[in-house]
């Protein structure tokens, strides 16, 4: 169950990083809405990470959390923000995904 909580925490990390990107691109009332989404996503992500680390090793949980956030943020950047796509970006994102799966497989919990 705590692995699911950790995955959801990582998805909220993608949310706060994406909201931060939109805050940078907008102004006025729209910027404040994105900033509110950033704060809410940040708080939820941290709370779920805290919950997951109650039973998972902190090093593993943090690595998986940041990995999910990094992979998800790159994908959102490519799909939503039209960030550049290259062989090496995809290659290293793939190795990061494999590393996250490897940490899950070798974890004792």
What would the pLDDT profile of 63-88 be if each residue is shown by its tens digit?
999 999 999 999 999 998 899 999 99
**Which DSSP letter does residue 56 get?**
S
CA dist 100 → 34, 38, 50, 103 (Å): 29, 25, 19, 5
CA angle 89, 19, 95 (to 5 degrees): 25
CA 21/CA 54 separation, integer angstroms: 31
Confidence of residue 39 (pLDDT cuts 50, 70, 90): very high
CA 84/CA 96 separation, integer angstroms: 18
* pLDDT over 80 at 109, yes or no: no
Question: Tokens 């004792």 belong to which residue?
Answer: 108
Do residues 41 and 15 touch, judged by C-beta distance below 8 A? yes
């Amino acid at each position: 169950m705590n692995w699911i909580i950790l995955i959801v925490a990582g998805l909220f990390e993608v949310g706060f990083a994406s909201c931060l990107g939109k805050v940078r691109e907008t102004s006025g009332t729209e910027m404040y809405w994105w900033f509110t989404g950033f704060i809410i996503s940040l708080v939820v992500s941290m709370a779920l990470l805290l919950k997951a680390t109650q039973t998972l090793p902190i090093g593993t949980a943090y690595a998986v959390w940041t990995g999910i956030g990094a992979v998800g943020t790159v994908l959102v950047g490519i799909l939503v923000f039209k960030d550049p796509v290259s062989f090496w970006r995809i290659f290293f994102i793939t190795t990061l995904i494999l590393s996250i799966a490897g940490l899950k497989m070798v974890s004792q919990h």
